[in-house]
Structures are given as C-alpha cells and as structure tokens.
Structure 1
Amino acid sequence: MIIVSGKIFVDPEGRDGYLAGCVEVVELARKSPGCLDFALSADLVDPARINVYERWETDEQLAAFRGSGPSDDQGAAIRDAEVSRYRISAVEPA
C-alpha cells in the first residue's frame, strides 16, 4: 500500500478557489483503479495550508492516475509543498 501525505501552501485568499478547482480531481481519483482514499482539505488553523492524503494499492496505479500532475493554474498557485510517499508493509486496526 502507498500513502501520499503532506501539505501544500497557497495564498490564503485563493485557498477556497484552489480547493473548488480540485473537486473533479478528487472525484476522478476516487474512481481510479487502486485508489483506496483521496482527500484534499483546508487546514483548520493555517489559512494558507491544504492537507493532502492519498492511499493507493500500488505505485503503478498511483503513477497511472497522476499523469502529468496538477494543471498549470494549480501549479502556479502553489507557493510551497511538503508531500511524501510512504510504502506501508502492514496495516493494523487502531
């Protein structure tokens, strides 16, 4: 299992618009083969931060969905990002 998790930063006044522009991406991801979960959300404390969480069955399925990455407009809106990929070898109930 692959988890992609982290945070991206946009201008605070543009965050709601950025997230609105991501609705289709979230819908497409959740319908994609191998996607177990996909979420982008506004941070409750930092008005510039967007939290990223994705869970995929395999690297190949993640790569197939990703394609070329964010659109030019989305990419231009990102001021900073800290997102990492994690390979999970076991899952246990919390």
Structure 2
Amino acid sequence: MTVIVAGHLTMAPDDREEFLRGHRHIVEESRKAPGCVDLSISPDPLDPGRVNIFEHWESPQTLDDWRSVAPPPKCDVQINDGSMYKHDVAKSGPPFDA
C-alpha cells in the first residue's frame, strides 16, 4: 500500500519565499530517501501566501522511516492555516481512461 501526504499551508505572502528556501534541502534529501516516489513543496500559482505540499511514499513504513531521520526546516515562518491529509492508497492506475 502506498501513501500520499498532500495539502497546503498558508502564511504571509512576504514569508513564502523564505519558507520555500528553508525547505529546499528537505525536498532534496527526501527524494533520495528509500521509498520516496516523489515529493514537492511548491508555491501556489494563484495565492501568494499558499504553499502546496505533495509526498508519495512506497509504504507507511518508508514514510515513518524518513520522518525519524528527516532534517528540520531551515526557517522559522509563522504558518497561519492549512490542511494536510495522509492517504493510504490500496489501488492506483492511469489518471484518465483510455
């Protein structure tokens, strides 16, 4: 069973670039971690105070293993709001029917 962690965080628009810079090393290291299929922390194209987060892991165990050794962020930005969910995925397939 794969795991998806997805959602968004909001902050002051002036803090977004600092947040992204402060998390870049986490994205780089995560993508090298065993079991990481993909990971992205990116600016929202419409909301200047929003960051979108997407993580795809091979299993709950690989996610837990990563979280036990993941480096901390290199910034201290105030998060105003957000919504993040972990999804246990039992089945995957193409996004569009052929």
Look up the match of 1:51: 52
Partners of 2:13 and 2:48 within 8 A in 1? yes
Partners of 2:44 and 2:52 within 8 A in 1? yes
Distance of 2:74 and 2:21 partners within structure 1: 16
What is the CA RMSD across the aligned residues, in angstroms? 1.8
Within-5 A mapping of 1:34-73: 34-67=35-68, 70-71=72-73, 73=75
Within-5 A mapping of 1:7-86: 7-67=8-68, 70-71=72-73, 73-74=75-76, 76-86=77-87
Percent identity among equivalent residues?
A: 32
Return 5+ residue gaps in structure 2 as ranges: none
Look up the match of 1:2: 3
Output the TM-score relative to the length of structure 1.
Answer: 0.88
Shift of 1:77: 2.4
Give the aligned residue type for 2:89. I
Give the aligned residue type for 1:50. V
Shift of 1:14: 0.8
Output the TM-score relative to the length of structure 2.
Answer: 0.85
Structure 1 stretches of 4+ with a deviation exceeding 2 A read 67-74
